Amino acid sequence: MFKFLKDVVGGSGTGIKDLPYNIGEPYHSAWGSWIHHRGTSKDDGSPVSIFTLSGSNAQDGHLAAGRNGVERLRTVRHPNILSFLRSTEIETFDGGSSKVTIYIVTEPVMPLSDKVKELGLESTQRDEYYAWGLLQISKAASFLNNDCKLVHGNVCLASVVVTQTLDWKLHAFDVLSEFDGSNESSSTQMLQYAWLVATQYKAMELAKSDWAVIKKSPPWAIDSWGMGCLIYELFSGLKLIKTEELRNTDSIPKSLLPDYQRLLNTIHLMEILSLKDSVEKDTFFCKLPNLAEQLPRQIMLKKLLPLLASALEFGSAAAPALTALLKMGSWLSAEEFRVKILPTIIKLFASNDRAVRVSLLQHIEQFGESLSAQAVDEQVYPHVATGFSDTSAFLRELTLKSMLVLAPKLSQRTLSGSLLKHLSKLQVDEEVGIRTNTIILLGNIASYLNEGTRKRVLINAFTVHALRDTFPRARGAGIMALCATSFNYDITEIATRILPNIVVLTSRAITGLHRRTSSHPHYGSTSCLC
């Protein structure tokens, strides 16, 4: 005998004292007599789904089946079965009558029929999404039938719900029972609530209550019929009314597998990524950006994007995966990008994988503007700065170039301390290109330095180092930087510290040019200098 809680339900039907959830608006559809509500946690506002089933008699057959569904959902766990959170049963009184209500709280989901309308997919994209979902429901049914020796008995469109990441999940376990094939003389324990299932959804032997045939059949026989009903309702867009309608296959693709292989393989590969070797991962992720363009965008964003972000964070994805992540990120709004992409990118800067660090720096212009100043100064820059002293000249140069994006977001303490210290060393780097780019960078970030730092650093950097560099382009960069930052220098500094160094260079240039023109046959007179 069940113990009923005597709490009184509020006037709106949502004031349940012992249930720490708010019950919201119902969806348009749900299986059987259940009502599927939107809901939220009273603690943190996180979304949930709440299913309710009411009866006027505690011994009502619908309630008995509902209790079976609660107990089954509570104990059966599988990635493709609706995740149970909590349940309760409440008896309320109104005058001389009573009402019993069962409440099941689950992960947030939407009825499949509602989600199909919301997505509005068409043609190949629709078929690919349906195939992927059918695969998930097939896995759930296979787990029940083959691993648990259970029969769901009620597979149809109404018994499937969809998560926020567009995964399909099987629920509506009211009819579910053990497959009692060993006892042919008894049918009391097997599918005792099958009367809840409409005739058109029943396999022929179940509709005729032919238990002898049922028990001689494999455990999956009845649910295979249900899968056929689900496929018909999906592709036809119609609710199954009569069993005879299943003969009409015009709306069902002639061959599911070839058309859906790309999507199924992509999702499957992401789910088993940790088992693949580095060559397979690199090949997959190099193809993924182009592949993502061809697959349903909603699936890419809601299903594949979280998998990809997780794989990158935990090191199972290769560096080329970042390109795919940013490709998908470009389809998001600025706020969605900030919430769904940036946390992963920020964590990746701490990676010890040089290939990942290189990929981040190569793509920094795609996400750098979205980074907050605090995140750059405290979480990103400390890791990026290690590249200034890396043994790889390529990584040192990438690190240097990244400062064009990151420097405007650095604090004065970091700019005047750590960054300038690194740039000072790079001004004497063995690579002429790095020395040149260091000068160019200093000229570009000069406006972000405070006045005292500019006075102390810029003239020395551009004259003592740049104008005396043996590489002509480095000297040219020094002159350009002096011109670009000229508003920072007073007349005295220009006259005593800058012009003397420039005049020396000009004198050398004229002398060198004179020597070349006097010895070269094409330079017969100084009139060529014009």
**What integer is the mean pLDDT of 491-508?**
81
Summarised one tens digit per residue, pLDDT across range 221-266 is 788 888 888 888 888 887 888 777 666 666 666 655 444 345 545 7
**What integer is the mean pLDDT of 287-307?**
78
- Residue with the bigger pLDDT between 137 and 266: it is 137
Least confident of 107-111, 364-368, 400-404, 494-498: 494-498
- Residue with the bigger pLDDT between 263 and 169: it is 169
pLDDT score of 518 more than 50: no
Helices 354-362 and 321-329, axial angle in degrees (round to 10): 30
What confidence category does residue 174 fall into, taking pLDDT thresholds of 50, 70 and 90?
very high
pLDDT score of 401 more than 80: yes
**CATH number of 21-109, picked from 3.40.30.10, 3.30.10.20, 3.40.50.300, 3.30.200.20:** 3.30.200.20
Integer Cα distance of 311 and 309 in angstroms: 5
**What integer is the mean pLDDT of 78-85?**
96
CA angle 447, 451, 456 (to 5 degrees): 105
pLDDT score of 272 more than 90: no
Integer Cα distance of 519 and 113 in angstroms: 87
**What integer is the mean pLDDT of 404-417?**
94
**What integer is the mean pLDDT of 396-403?**
96
Summarised one tens digit per residue, pLDDT across range 416-426 is 999 999 999 99
Q: Measuring CA to CA, which residue among 87, 22, 91, 3 is closest to residue 55?
A: 91
What confidence category does residue 529 fall into, taking pLDDT thresholds of 50, 70 and 90?
very low
Dihedrals phi, psi of 464, to nearest 5 degrees:
-60, -40
Share of the chain above pLDDT 70, in %: 84
The 3-class SS string of 334-388 reads: HHHHHHHCHHHHHHHCCCCCHHHHHHHHHCHHHHHHHCCHHHHHHHHHHHHHHHH
Summarised one tens digit per residue, pLDDT across range 182-200 is 555 444 568 888 888 888 8
pLDDT score of 133 more than 60: yes
Structure tokens at 144: 């029940």
What confidence category does residue 469 fall into, taking pLDDT thresholds of 50, 70 and 90?
confident
What confidence category does residue 283 fall into, taking pLDDT thresholds of 50, 70 and 90?
confident
In the block, tokens 């497959």 appear at: 179
pLDDT score of 171 more than 80: yes
**What integer is the mean pLDDT of 386-391?**
93
**What integer is the mean pLDDT of 320-339?**
90
pLDDT score of 67 more than 60: yes
**CATH number of 111-257, picked from 1.10.3720.10, 3.40.50.970, 3.10.620.30, 1.10.510.10:** 1.10.510.10
174-to-55, 71, 208, 244, 394 alpha-carbon distances in Å: 15, 9, 20, 26, 63
204-212 long-range contacts (CB < 8 A, ≥24 apart) are: 206/153, 207/243, 211/184, 211/187, 212/184
pLDDT score of 468 more than 80: yes
**What integer is the mean pLDDT of 12-32?**
78
State residue 249's pLDDT score.
Answer: 63
State residue 63's pLDDT score.
Answer: 93
State residue 269's pLDDT score.
Answer: 67
| Residue-averaged pLDDT of the chain | 83
State residue 189's pLDDT score.
Answer: 67
The predicted model scores a pTM of 0.59
342 exposure class (CB count in 10 Å sphere: 0-12, 13-18, 19+): middle
Q: Name the segment(s) of the chain with CATH classification 3.30.200.20.
A: 21-109
**What integer is the mean pLDDT of 288-300?**
76
Q: Measuring CA to CA, which residue among 428, 435, 388, 430 is closest to residue 407?
A: 388
Integer Cα distance of 166 and 306 in angstroms: 11
State residue 273's pLDDT score.
Answer: 66
